[in-house]
Chains A and B, each alone.
Chain A
């Protein structure tokens, strides 16, 4: 916790140009990973992108995630100090659990491991119709399948007519078409809403 605060103070000072440059010790040890030394790989058109992986997490060992892709391909994904982890919002490694789905982007190492730059856990993107509204809950119809979408106050954002995001979700009306980016509750038809896109009058 103290580390986090120190680190944030350092970063804030650097960007706002306050007290100037601070020494290395405040940052703690962040060993450069082999991933960051490798050059990006160019992908042939139509070929599988080696720097991307998706699937369900079947095991976690240390900082490595074992993932089975939806095409049954097995991936091992290495999480580093520089990996961003999203699960409804930017979060930390300890929030990842076996059973979660994920999309990961990074660099494929020589041993086949994907050193992840960014991981999006349980992320879903659905187009649906709003069939009902409850207290902080939206009932969606996605091609005939019901989805229960939870609105999380303080986290959920709404984008109306493509304007900058706001936290007021209350302009939504039953019957509307919406696009929802959210975090799936694994093995249910429920999601938490990160962003809802809608057109309003």
Chain B
């Protein structure tokens, strides 16, 4: 079992190294990456780019050697040394140039974080494992291909999870999907007061008494299928209260009803549909 797992480690490390070398050797991105990485403060601005390229070549060479059979302990040992060197470099970057990019696996600018350390640590452990228990991966695959494939995928997934540079490829779309499916502002239910007030203001009942109203909405409450809204008013020069009833379901300004009550006596002095004087005339006449 141990031998089986150890046999697959060179493949994982090799894949990571080749990927990482690809970024370092690519013509367009390398110069910018090198100057932004912690290499520049470590060995000087001028030597950063050549060192970055040399590192890429070494990574590529070791990666190819690891992936291609035969499996030699010395290859794994070299990879382990490289991974240990990365960890030391990360530590230096973290302590001396916390703003600098790691420059590890992508051109995306990503400061060193615990994920970078975890990834480097994972490579060191995998390298040690492969060094101590040397075995060829073709043989391991021949014995149990599904298990080998599953293990490889799991390890690569772990490496991707620990790579902040690759977040844009999978974490961001996932977060966007979550935001789209569960919008952070979901949850509002019911009929807002504003909807009722808009309905009121477009109703014939409101138009009848609008000139008598003095205040904004004073209180509102729901009862059955009606929402009641009360406002202060003046009727024949006396303080009164206008109470509106608006249907809660749907938007029907014509269905809104109104009554005006004398504030002191509580007597209904006007109600929509009644024969009493319209309040605006009473108000205008004093």
Q: List residues of chain A with CB under 8 Å of any chain B CB.
A: 8, 10-12, 14-17, 20-27, 30-33, 36-37, 81-86, 89-90, 117-118, 120, 133-138, 151, 153-159, 164-170, 172, 194-195
Q: Tell whether, in the assembled complex, residue B199 and residue A167 are in contact, meaning their CB atoms are under 8 Å apart.
A: no
Interface contact B238-A32, CB-CB below 8 Å: yes
- Least CB distance from A169 to B in Å reads 4
Q: Is the CB of A165 within 8 A of B195?
A: yes
For residue B237, which residues in chain A have a CB less than 8 angstroms away from its CB? Answer: 36-37
Q: In the complex, which residues 216-264 of chain B have their Cβ closer than 8 Å to any Cβ of chain A?
A: 216-221, 223, 226, 228, 230-232, 234, 237-239, 241, 243-245, 251, 257-259, 261, 263-264
CB–CB B217/A153 < 8 A: no
A81 to B215, CA, bound (A): 11
The reply to whether B215 and A89 contact each other, CB–CB distance below 8 Å, is no
Instruction: Please list the 8 inter-chain residue pairs (A to B) with the smallest Cβ-Cβ separation, ordered nearest first.
Output: A157-B192, A27-B266, A167-B188, A82-B232, A84-B215, A165-B194, A24-B265, A15-B259
Interface string of B106-117 (1 = CB under 8 A from A): 000000000000
How big is chain B's contact interface, by range? 35 or more
Compute how far the CA of A16 lies from the CA of B223 in the bound complex, rounded to whole angstroms.
11
CA distance A90 to B267 in the complex (A): 25
Instruction: Pick the contact of B266: A12, A26, A89, A166 (CB < 8 A).
Output: A26
Residue B29 is within 8 A (CB to CB) of chain A in the complex: no
Chain B residues within 8 Å of A, Cβ to Cβ:
179, 183-195, 198-199, 214-221, 223, 226, 228, 230-232, 234, 237-239, 241, 243-245, 251, 257-259, 261, 263-268, 271-273
**Nearest neighbor of A36 in chain B, beta-carbon distance:** B239
Which residue among A26, A84, A133, A156 has the maximum number of chain B CB atoms within 10 Å of its CB? A84
Closest Cβ of chain A to B253, distance in Å, is: 10
- A11–B233 alpha-carbon span in the complex (Å): 14
Residues of A near B234 (CB, < 8 A) are: 36
Nearest-Cβ distance from residue A68 to partner chain B, whole angstroms: 23
CB distance from B64 to the nearest CB of A (A): 45
Q: In whole angstroms, how far apart are the Cα atoms of A137 and B257 in the complex?
A: 37
State how many angstroms separate the Cβ of B233 from the closest Cβ of chain A. Answer: 9
Known: A8-B228, A24-B266, A133-B179. 15 other contacts (CB 8 A): A8-B223, A11-B241, A11-B243, A15-B243, A32-B239, A32-B263, A37-B237, A81-B239, A83-B215, A83-B232, A133-B185, A134-B184, A158-B188, A165-B195, A170-B185
Residues A120 and B216 in contact, CB atoms below 8 Å apart: yes
Given A21-B267, A165-B192, A168-B188: A82 touches B198 (CB 8 Å cut-off): no
Given contacts A15-B228, A133-B185, contact A84 B190 (CB under 8 A): no
Q: Is the CB of B267 within 8 A of A84?
A: no
B266-A90 in contact (CB<8A): no
Cα distance A151–B188 when bound, in Å? 9
Bound together, the chains give a CA A36 to CA B235 distance in angstroms of 10
Per the bound structure, the CA–CA distance linking A54 and B58 in Å amounts to 73
- Expressed in whole angstroms, the minimum distance between the Cβ of A148 and any Cβ of chain B is 14
Q: Which of B199, B218, B259 contacts A14 (CB 8 A)?
A: B259
The verdict on A84 contacting B217 (CB below 8 Å), with A11-B228, A30-B263 known, is yes
CB distance from A192 to the nearest CB of B (A): 14
* Cβ-defined partner of B259 (8 Å) among A11, A23, A138: A11
Cα–Cα distance between A165 and B196 once the two chains are bound (Å): 8
Cβ contact within 8 Å between B226 and A8: no
**Choice from A15, A84, A86, A136 contacting B184 with Cβ under 8 Å:** A136
Interchain residue pairs with CB less than 8 A apart (25): A10-B266, A11-B228, A11-B230, A11-B243, A11-B261, A12-B243, A14-B271, A15-B245, A16-B245, A17-B271, A23-B266, A23-B267, A37-B237, A84-B215, A86-B217, A89-B193, A90-B219, A135-B184, A136-B184, A151-B185, A151-B188, A153-B189, A165-B192, A168-B188, A169-B185
Q: Which of A14, A24, A85 contacts B264, CB < 8 Å?
A: A24
Cross-chain contact B263 with A157 (CB below 8 angstroms): no
Q: Find chain A residues with CB under 8 A from B267 CB.
A: 21-24
Contacts of A12 in B (CB 8 A): 223, 226, 228, 243, 245
Q: In the complex, A83 Cα to B272 Cα: how many Å?
A: 24
B272 proximity list for chain A (CB < 8 A): 15
Is B266 touching A133 in the complex (CB atoms < 8 A)?
Answer: no
- Closest B residue to A33 by beta carbon equals B239
A156 in contact with B188 (CB, 8 Å): yes
**Residues in B neighbouring A21, C-beta threshold 8 A:** 267-268
- Complex CA–CA separation, A16 to B257 (angstroms): 7
The chain A residue sitting closest to B228, CB to CB, is A12
